[in-house]
Amino acid sequence: MQLTDKVAIITGASRGIGRAVALALAAQGAKIVASARNLEALNALVAELKEQGAQAIAVAGDVAITADADKLVAEAVAAFGRVDILINNAGITRDGLLMRMKDEDWDAVLDTNLKGAFHCLRAVSKVMSKQRYGRVINISSVVGEMGNPGQVNYCASKAGLLGLTKSAALELARRNITVNAITPGFIVTDMTEDLNDKAKAALTERIPLGRLGESEDISHAVQYLASDQASYVTGQILRINGGMYM
């Protein structure tokens, strides 16, 4: 699954799944455009990638803002001449019960998780259409399919990504652009590390494979969907959740 000289934009790349994806794609030869709001963390990632022999740049910004998403794609093209892969991974949570949820908590999550993906996909689709080549992978979530109490905003945003994926796949297929989604289950990240042992044990009991997932479980799937081996796969949802939802 070599990705030599492919140019990959990864949003939410400063930590967790996004960081693991950046390292995995770089290991296959891709040039990395790492994006997030935390420039310090991005610079540390880019330094690590360069130490491993990869070409990489950091572009700080907020994908919820149209201008930042457009700038991200423009800087990728300016640096490397093209964009072959887009990983829409940026996401936030603002958890709370439905009856108590504030408008600003709903808006913040939808703006980043769903509208941000739309902004990036819209911008990159113009570049990929001219190239007549592209791979788009949207990182959704298992709770976007099954729901989760206290996360109506997050679940709605992740479910929306699935509709975005299928519609975009239909629109862009004739330009040789594939659009797919991955729905991770509960993955060991900064978010899950904040849970206490009792909460982690309760989560694990819901997973048939008996463990939380690792970021690498997701990055391996991204490698496949970003590769030419997946050239006939589009509009699909790849569920990586340890059997939690089938």
Residue with tokens 């420039």: 39
Burial state string for 86-119 with b = 16 or more CB within 10 A and e = fewer than 16: bbbbbbbbbeeeeeebeeebbebbbbbbbbbbbb
Catalytically annotated residue among 133, 154, 224, 232:
154
Residue 176 corresponds to which tokens in the numbers above?
A: 């040789």
Cβ atoms of residues 124 and 138 within 8 Å: no
Element of type H or E holding 108: helix 103-110
Element of type H or E holding 138: strand 134-139
Give the Cα separation of 117 and 168 in Å (integer): 11
The amino acid sitting at 115 is K
Residue 190: how many other CB atoms lie within 10 Å: 8
Residue 61 corresponds to which tokens in the numbers above?
A: 């910004």
Strands 134-139 and 7-11: unpaired
**What secondary structure letter does DSSP report for 211?**
S
Annotated active-site residue 154? The verdict is: yes
Residue with tokens 């770089």: 26
* Positions marked active-site: 154
